[in-house]
Amino acid sequence: MRRSNGWSAAILGLALAGCHHGSSPPPQRYALGGSISGLTVAGLTLTNGADSLSPAAGATTFTFATRLASGTAYNVQIGATPAGLACTVANGQGTMPAADVTNVTVTCTPRSYTLGGTITGLAAGGLVLANGTDTVAPPAQATQFSFTQPVAFGATYSVTVQNQPAAGTCSVSGGSGTMPAAAVQSVSVTCTAPPSESLLHSFAGGTSDGAQPTGGLVLATDGQLYGMTYASGSGQAGVFYSLTTAGTYTLLHAFTATATDTGGPLGALIQGSDGNFYGTGQYGGSHLSGAVVQVTPAGAVTLLHSFAGGSADGSDPQGGVVRASDGTLYGTTYTGGGNNLGTVWKLATDGTLTLLHAFAGAGSSDGAYPRAGLMLASDGNLYGTTSGGGAHNAGTVFSVTPAGSYAVVYSFSGGAGDGGDPRGELVEGADGALYGLSYDGGAANLGTLYRLTKAGSESVLYAFTGTGDGAYPYGALLLGADGNFYGLTFGDGTSQLGSLFRATPVGAVTPLHAFAGGAGDGADPIGRLVQGSDGTLYGVTYNGGAANLGTVFKLTAP
């Protein structure tokens, strides 16, 4: 029995010893991860030894799939970086505690790349390109440009022309976009050559040529230019002429300022639907007070009306005419009428002239002394200007219906804040407003460009400064095919002999040519421009040219 009990105790001891020295349970494992910021695109790979993961774009946290036991070393690194980003790891190394690690930080920031491109045709300095607040000023003849401030991946860019060069005009294409993960050198800046001005004819005066053109030109249906001069010719009263766009000049009629002819034309011609030209002469006619004339393309002149002056008629017309679709002509005279302060008239096709209005002058807040003709607007009414009169005796803009209902639309006040003494016809803009020029007024008292609604709300868009931009605009604006306005100033410019300018509808003025006078250029331009189908501008100057008696010039498409 004792031996048996002893064996049992021994067996029990062995069994207990086997239970105490057997395999232990597996150790507990913990998660490794952290936070991510700035991951705007896919492509990031994180590694920890052989373990890796690729967080999705926009992810803000990460956790490796393999959990680690306490005491295990870890080292989180960037395995692959997304295009356009630079990513770094903080708190990525350590020994695994008996807890999850969540403080590994991955920070991604955009890389920055250069922005630039190519330039063609930059003939002069002065060009400034801008991308936000960053600017670059390429020198003349530059073919490439690059901004100094790089642009971050994913940021937007917009390259614009901040300043045009001293000569020519530049535009940008492909200048806007979102910065990719590479330099952008595809922006294209194209510069056009500055407009080139040349003379088509220098007036010689005497009996064989005219002198001192004022009103401008008309580009006729036959492709030729037609115009009049104020002086010279065999009758010493001006001429009617034609001129090809290549410069071939033909004198078609010499005015005589007699009872059967007119003379001293100041206003511009128009061409009617019948192919004939219509205009006025300041002198001549049966009363020697001016006349309305029809001139054929061959130069045959017919007096349509001779002004008589007095209270029943006008005298001394200085502006051109406008022709309605029914053939009725409308115009103004500088004097005549009951107050001898000028008139508005219409002339029927049967030769009957009707005074629509006789100006009363400043004492009645009416205008006085209209120097320019009328404009037939889209509302069917006629609009014009007077150089004097009005509430401030600085001129007016007025309207008159074909039936003769008259109203002062606006009275100029002159001075620094407004224009004064307008001397040209109005033009209707694409917005239905009226645009015009005043001879003086504005901050420098050198004239203005203004906008006027038909309801009478006026704003000065630009005041000429006389520092290269022009002074004393004397004539009408031209609404160009590009939607901008073009006009002439009688004074200033680089040589103080007048300028040709472009103006946007909001009043940004760019000088295009400064007249230099002498044998090679005109001086003191007056009147209005015309534009050919190729964009070329044509006009006249009162002086300059070989004999200093005026010129016809052209300016290549601006």
Q: Is 509 exposed, middle or buried (0-12, 13-18, 19+ CB in 10 A)?
A: buried
For the segment 109-154, what is each residue's pLDDT rounded down to a tens digit? 999 999 999 999 998 899 999 999 999 999 999 999 999 999 999 9
β-partners of residue 30 are: 68
**pLDDT at position 491:** 92
CA 452, CA 503: separation in Å to the nearest integer?
Answer: 16
CA 37, CA 107: separation in Å to the nearest integer?
Answer: 5
CA 474, CA 146: separation in Å to the nearest integer?
Answer: 44
CA 356, CA 358: separation in Å to the nearest integer?
Answer: 7
Percentage above 70 pLDDT, the chain: 96
pTM, two decimal places = 0.75
17 pLDDT above the threshold of 50: no
**pLDDT at position 23:** 64
14 pLDDT above the threshold of 70: no
The C-alpha R_g of the chain, in whole angstroms, comes to: 41
For the segment 366-385, what is each residue's pLDDT rounded down to a tens digit? 999 999 999 999 999 999 99
CA 63, CA 467: separation in Å to the nearest integer?
Answer: 70
387 pLDDT above the threshold of 90: yes
**pLDDT at position 27:** 85
Reported as a pLDDT band with limits 50, 70 and 90, residue 492 is confident
For the segment 296-334, what is each residue's pLDDT rounded down to a tens digit? 999 999 999 999 999 999 999 999 999 999 999 999 999
**pLDDT at position 493:** 72
Reported as a pLDDT band with limits 50, 70 and 90, residue 19 is very low
| 140 φ/ψ sector (left φ>0, alpha ψ -120 to 50, else beta) | beta
CB atoms under 10 Å from CB of 457, counted, come to 11
What own/partner pairs with CB < 8 Å and gap ≥ 24 does 236-240 have? 237/261, 237/262, 237/263, 237/264, 237/281, 237/283, 237/284, 238/210, 238/263, 238/264, 238/265, 238/281, 239/209, 239/210, 240/277, 240/295, 240/299, 240/301
Report helix, strand or coil for 363: helix
Percentage above 90 pLDDT, the chain: 91
| pLDDT mean over 328-353 | 98
For the segment 202-248, what is each residue's pLDDT rounded down to a tens digit? 999 999 999 999 999 999 999 999 999 999 999 999 999 999 999 99
Reported as a pLDDT band with limits 50, 70 and 90, residue 278 is very high
For the segment 544-556, what is each residue's pLDDT rounded down to a tens digit? 999 999 999 999 9
CA 42, CA 44: separation in Å to the nearest integer?
Answer: 6
**CA 375 to mean position of chain CA atoms:** 24
